[in-house]
Every structure is written in structure tokens, then in C-alpha cells.
């Protein structure tokens, strides 16, 4: 489908949306947009597999704006977009503002970590589209400030991240309160079994759209693997970081506790490091990211979930302290370096139990990762 659709005007989008897209400098739809917009405009449920950065926000925001502008609602919130983090929720809100600038569709964003006064005022004034994080949404519902009985379209964005951040029970609770007659769109970078099962309960004969991660990985990323015993990983990491060429480094761990332990060990070794993961407060995450961007902190130790929102130019190296259990995640991780036409390097520490994971990565990327000798 996407090969035939070369412009947004081929997608049957209305003129106010096309004008907004032109003004924002959009030239042609991305594959996920070309594949998803037609079935969503047709009112179908949709299950989309796509990484961040593929243009998936426009893939649901544009048809939602078009559908809501075509009919008058009975009052109340008509579309709900559920987002795992406030950073992503704010980005989605910006997208609705840009795309909907020539339409009379009102939206607001609701998330925790800030006072709810402004959110409360916007809700009382009336909105058509609510973009929310699960915790704050349930708080507002508990206070009687949000009702979901008029929802026509529901979007669950980054479903796998919701699962990893422990929000899946909140998501199920929200879904249980939605009208049975609705259109539902689910997007996820990966499709673990729990998400497949959730999709099966939420979606009715959905259109399925998948944008594969770039199997070639980032061409400018030099990749290598160092085979080490599990117990020797921290020492190996410190040796690698002794090289001054590693100027701005993201180290990936599989768990939040692992991220904390690695960051603490590096700090004890006088290597400036901070951890970033879902258990950290919003302010702590933002502070760690700001320190990393400014160069105050040389090493950011992150879980995959926290790293989804990290878009920092000048990352010289990515180090996989633990290999990811899903091969596609490796592609996403090493894409944190070699951004904005820069070169980058990815080094993976692989213990005996992870050899199978390495084989899966090499199968996906269709290349053998050379060994880095200690």
C-alpha cells in the first residue's frame, strides 16, 4: 500500500489537515501512516507494530481529527489516547495542536508529577480529545473530573512500554470503563505474549499494520561483542570506560535494579554515571537526562523503557551491559548513537547464558558481530 501512496492528498484527508501538514513541512506519509490511516478512517480497529520515530502519532492523530470533525459529539470526551510517560503524552499533545490548528477540535494532556489545576480547568471547559497517562487519568476519574462514557475512539500507545512500567492493570481498568461500542487502536514496538492477549480482548477484527525495524541497523554504528563471565561484567565495563574516546555513553541493563547497581559501581570508580528507569521520579529522570545532555554526566545507565524517550545527539557509544531478550530491542538501543550524521560505536558484553540472544540478534541484523578482545 505505502509504495502507491506518495502524498497525504492520496489518503483522503480533508483540506484543513493537508494545510496543517504542508505548513509543518510534511511532504509524504511514512510507511506506518500510509498503511494505518486508510483503515482507521474507515472506522476499523487497528493493531500497529511500530517503533518510536516511525511517524505513528500522525498515523492515529490525523484520522482521529478527521473523524471527530465530521460529526458532532453528544458532549464529553470523544477520544482518549493513553500514553505511558508524560514526555510522550506532551509530544502527542503537540502533534494534535499542529495537525488540528484549522479545526475546532479541543484537546488537553493530563499526567502526574505536576499540579492538576490547569488540567482540571481544561477538562471543565470541555475537550474532545484527552491524552493521558494511566495514573493521573484514574486520579481524575476518581475525583469525578473525567467520564469515559462518550468515548468513540480509544488509542493505547506504546503498549509494551505500559507493560514494562507496570501499568497493565491500570490499562485494563480503564478499558473496562470504556463504552463497548468504540473504535480501538493499539500500537506497540514489540508484541510480547501479554500484549497479544490484551489486543485480543480489546480489538474487534482489527487491521494489522507492521513496520519492521531497520534490520540493517544503523550503518554508521561500529558493532562489537566482548565475551565475559557474568561476574566479570562490571570490571569489563569499567575497563572499556577507561578509554577517553567514550565521551557520552548510554549503558543498557535489563532491569531497573541492575541499572541502579551499575550506576552505583561506576560512581564508586569515579566514573560519572546516573541511572534512568521507570522507578525514578519524573523530576529525577529529567534531571539525569539534562545532566547527560549538558555533559555533566558522562554515562547514563538506562533500561529499554526509559531509553525510548532519549533523543540525544552526540552519544559516542552504546554499551549493552545485558543483551536484550528481544532482538529488535538491540536495533533500537544502538540507534541511540550515530545520530545526526555522526559515527558511533556499540559494544555488547555477552556472558555464557546470553549466547542464544546474540545469535537471535545476528539473525535479525543479518550480520555477524565481531568479537572485541579484552
pLDDT, tens digit, 9 for 90 and up, residues 8-18:
989 999 999 99
pLDDT, tens digit, 9 for 90 and up, residues 147-160:
999 999 999 999 98
How many other CB atoms are there within 10 angstroms of residue 340's CB atom?
8
Q: What is the reported pLDDT for 54?
A: 74
pLDDT beyond 80 at 341: no
Between CA 240 and CA 319 the distance in angstroms is: 9
Check: pTM over 0.85? Answer yes or no: no
Domain ranges of the chain: 8-210, 221-365
pLDDT beyond 90 at 225: yes
Phi and psi at 172, nearest 5°, equal -60, -35
CATH topology of domain 8-210: Rossmann fold (3.40.50)
DSSP letter string, 251-298? EE-SSHHHHHHHHHHHHHTT--EEEE-TTS-HHHHHHHHHHHHHTS-S
Is 221-365 the same fold as 8-210?
yes
DSSP secondary-structure letter at 14? Answer: -
pLDDT, tens digit, 9 for 90 and up, residues 286-339:
899 899 999 999 999 998 766 665 777 889 999 999 998 877 778 878 888 877
CATH topology of domain 221-365: Rossmann fold (3.40.50)
Amino acid at each position: 500500500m505505502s509504495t502507491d501512496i506518495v502524498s497525504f492528498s492520496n489518503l483522503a484527508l480533508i483540506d484543513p489537515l493537508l494545510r496543517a501538514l504542508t505548513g509543518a513541512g510534511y511532504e509524504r506519509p511514512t510507511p506506518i501512516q500510509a498503511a494505518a490511516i486508510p483503515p482507521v478512517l474507515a472506522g476499523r480497529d487497528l493493531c500497529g507494530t511500530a517503533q518510536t520515530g516511525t511517524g505513528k502519532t500522525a498515523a492515529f492523530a490525523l484520522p482521529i481529527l478527521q473523524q471527530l470533525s465530521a460529526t458532532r459529539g453528544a458532549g464529553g470526551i470523544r477520544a482518549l489516547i493513553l500514553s505511558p510517560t508524560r514526555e510522550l503524552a506532551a509530544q502527542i499533545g503537540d502533534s494534535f495542536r499542529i495537525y488540528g490548528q484549522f479545526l475546532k477540535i479541543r484537546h488537553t494532556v493530563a499526567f502526574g508529577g505536576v499540579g492538576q489545576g490547569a488540567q482540571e480547568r481544561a477538562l471543565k471547559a470541555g475537550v474532545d480529545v484527552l491524552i493521558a497517562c494511566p495514573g493521573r487519568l484514574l486520579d481524575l476519574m476518581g475525583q469525578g473530573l473525567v467520564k469515559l462514557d462518550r468515548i468513540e475512539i480509544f488509542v493505547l500507545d506504546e503498549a509494551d512500554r505500559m507493560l514494562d512500567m507496570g501499568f497493565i492493570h491500570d490499562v485494563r481498568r480503564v478499558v473496562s470503563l470504556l463504552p463497548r461500542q468504540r473504535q480501538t487502536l493499539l500500537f506497540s514496538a514489540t508484541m510480547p505474549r501479554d500484549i497479544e492477549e490484551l489486543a485480543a480482548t480489546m480489538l474487534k477484527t482489527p487491521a494489522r499494520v507492521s513496520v519492521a525495524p531497520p534490520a540493517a541497523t544503523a550503518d554508521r554504528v561500529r558493532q562489537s561483542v566482548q565475551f565475559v563471565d557474568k561476574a566479570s561484567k562490571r570490571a569489563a565495563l569499567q575497563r572499556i570506560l577507561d578509554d577517553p574516546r567514550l565521551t557520552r555513553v548510554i549503558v543498557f541493563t535489563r532491569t531497573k535494579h541492575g541499572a541502579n547497581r551499575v550506576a552505583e559501581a561506576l560512581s564508586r570508580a569515579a566514573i560519572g554515571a546516573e541511572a534512568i528507569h521507570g522507578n525514578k521520579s519524573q523530576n529525577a529522570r529529567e534531571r539525569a537526562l539534562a545532566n547527560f545532555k549538558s555533559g555533566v554526566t558522562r554515562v547514563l545507565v538506562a533500561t529499554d523503557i526509559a531509553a525510548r524517550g532519549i533523543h540525544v545527539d552526540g552519544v559516542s557509544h552504546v554499551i549493552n551491559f545485558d543483551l536484550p531478550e528481544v532482538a529488535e530491542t538491540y536495533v533500537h538501543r544502538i540507534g541511540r548513537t550515530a545520530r545526526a550524521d555522526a559515527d558511533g560505536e556499540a559494544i555488547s558484553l555477552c556472558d555464557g547464558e546470553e549466547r542464544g540472544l546474540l545469535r537471535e540478534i545476528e539473525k535479525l541484523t543479518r550480520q555477524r558481530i565481531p568479537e572485541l578482545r579484552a
